[in-house]
Amino acid sequence: MQAFRPHQLLFPHHPPPSFILLPTAVTSAVQFPRRRHLRLRILSAATNTPIPSLPDAASAFHDYQLLFSSQPAESIDPLPLLAADGRLPDDFPAGTYYLVGPGMISDGHGSTLSPLDGHGYLRAFRFGGGAGTVTYTARYVETEAAMEEREEGTGKWRFRRPGHFSMLKAHKTAMRPSSLKNVANTTVLSWGGRLFCLWEGGHPYEIEPSTLATVGPADLIGAAERRRWRINVFYILPLSAGLLGMPPKRTLSHYKIDAKRNMLLVLSCDTEDMFLPKSTFIFHEFDSNFELKQKKTFLIPDQLMIHDWAFTDSHYILIGNRIKFSMPGMLSSVTGLEPMISTISLNPSRSTTPIYLLPRSLDKKNRARDWRIPVEAPSQLWTSHVCNAFEEKDVTGNIEIKIQASVCSYQWFNFKKMFGYDWQSEKLDPSFMNVGMKEVPHLVQISIMLNSNGACSWCTIANSSSHWNKPADFPIINPLNSGQSNRFMYASSTTGSRKLLPYFPYDSVIKLDCYTGIVKSWCPGSRSFIGEPMFISKKTTEEEDGYIVVVEVKQYAVFKQRCYLVVLDAKRVGHDDAVIVKMEVPEHLRFPLGFHGLWDGK
């Protein structure tokens, strides 16, 4: 037998077919036959006996794979959760924490997808209020693709459609019309008594809040839209609808809630823009009854990809990720040689980042400024997520706009390798997410000064804190401060303590004081990883008065995993008593990390 070298554990492009070896850098060439190893795993699950930890290189690789392992089981009936540590305070608010993400990426028939293409798995943690019970429910979003690929009755999966980021071993052939799929796996929205799961490339799916049963696709913006007939419609729309399986207009997965005005802000764009050197963005504002109160359309002469965005009292803010249409990628996609995402590529032709300040309100200053001309930020950055933006006006009439975001470099960002997914080997390579600090997502503050006439005087980009030089993403604030000035920001980050996984997966919640730059952190412990934190406000005058909920996935051994929902005191992050309660999800329902969540208070 040929030895399995250490680098293969971190770059598993060609894993051996019949055995697993520990890395020779850690120990001598000790071999574990695959069959015996699988038998050990089964016995361990049955007897609950611990398995000795593998050396660090092997455990790092296996820990990474388990973060995105599939979970076919659902918990349709609410299941009470037991507290593994602590208890909820008597004044804890009633409500539900929803979390969505990819729950099924491997079908057991030889196909493994990118996590971005995994079927949406919605989890609901329902808090009864005070020290009452917390129940857990989990169900798959029954999209058209999910119903086609999941066998009714048995619940077994067999992938029949590729995703935008993946290929299938079952049929690596040319794309056929509507072969791609909406997986509704990115964000959760609760508004006007309705619940939705959103995905970047298609319509949201409406969910019944009490049971998590899928109602069906919902076109939130369709009633307000009318097609603007142009010559390219006859050529581009059939292409985008047939090859990409996407509607003419797509609703972006990230929405915003203006707590000050009690308005829901939704952003959509023309699907055809993926093939054209322009971008059309349509902003919709809905009141609490889902009545459309404002709609604004902006045609930008630049080809951009927007995942997340921001707003202030006066502006919608887009930090432009420049892209371009790739004809070679299109040809490779339609012939089945590469994933459909190859149709577009990054456009690093400029050394700056365009920031579009689009008028939300038509005051004198906004009318004077040409919004089609972006502010060019002095660095080339790819924006991952935007936390908040707000305006500060001085006595002379100048306005400073501050934007808090997580960004990465164009040199690192790669559509086809997100989360380390290799579409050719269908493996997850942890080394992709663990390169240099300046490349992977990190927190920055962008400051733009507009003079009294609305012209840009200057624009700067700086790290959010000089005290924190580690990667971070999923930044959040107290939602009551959205669009307004905030002092505190929370995010997922890393201790950097794992030699082979120094930057990702995240293993810490950080709390950043934007006034002082001081950063405090909470870490759940060794071989524990976290997802996106979520702020639950106590709705007092103190900005940091609230709770942080976050999912923790802990690896006790290579094949032994536990999932917890952790509640932190937002004020006490960085202190020994930060954890209020930790609730354990039953082992048979352990789940992969999600993408984005939502707190829906009663």
| Location of structure tokens 């902003």 | 283
Give which of 471, 483, 407 is closest to 445, Cα–Cα.
407
Whole-number Cα distances in Å, 393 to 345, 400, 442: 39, 6, 28
Write the DSSP string, 451-518.
Answer: -TTS-EEEEEEEES-TT--S-EEEEE--GGGTTS--SEEEEEE-----SSSSSSS--EEEEEETTT--
Give the 3-state secondary structure of residue 145. Answer: helix
Instruction: State the amino acid at position 331 in one-letter form.
Output: L
Query: How long a stretch of residues is the chain?
Result: 602
| Location of structure tokens 């169900």 | 139
Q: Integer distance in angstroms from the first to the last C-alpha of the chain?
A: 61
Instruction: Dig out the tokens for 43 from the structure.
Output: 């016995």
Calpha distance 579→87 (Å, rounded): 10
| φ, ψ of residue 564 in degrees (nearest 5) | -130, 150
| Location of structure tokens 């993946």 | 166
For the beta carbon of residue 117, count every other beta carbon within 10 angstroms. Answer: 27
Chain-centre distance for alpha carbon 598: 12
Give the 3-state secondary structure of residue 419. Answer: helix
Write the DSSP string, 258-290.
Answer: ETTTTEEEEEEEEGGGGGSS-EEEEEEEE-TT-
| φ, ψ of residue 141 in degrees (nearest 5) | -75, 120
Instruction: Dig out the tokens for 472 from the structure.
Output: 């971070």
Instruction: State the amino acid at position 187 in one-letter form.
Output: T
Which residues neighbour 102 within 8 Å (Cβ) at sequence distance 6 or greater? 68, 113, 115, 116, 117, 118, 119, 120, 121, 183, 185, 592, 595
596 is in an annotated binding site: yes
Calpha distance 368→108 (Å, rounded): 59
Task: Evaluate the omega torsion of the peptide bond into residue 162 and state whether it is cis, within 30 degrees of 0.
Answer: no
Give which of 53, 5, 56, 7 is closest to 429, Cα–Cα.
7
307 is in an annotated binding site: yes
For the beta carbon of residue 45, count every other beta carbon within 10 angstroms. Answer: 14
Calpha distance 351→428 (Å, rounded): 31
Cβ pair 87, 131 in contact under 8 A: yes
What DSSP state is assigned to residue 116? G
Write the DSSP string, 157-181.
Answer: B---S--SS---SS--S---TT-S-
Annotated binding site: 307, 385, 596
Annotated binding site for Fe cation: 307, 385, 596
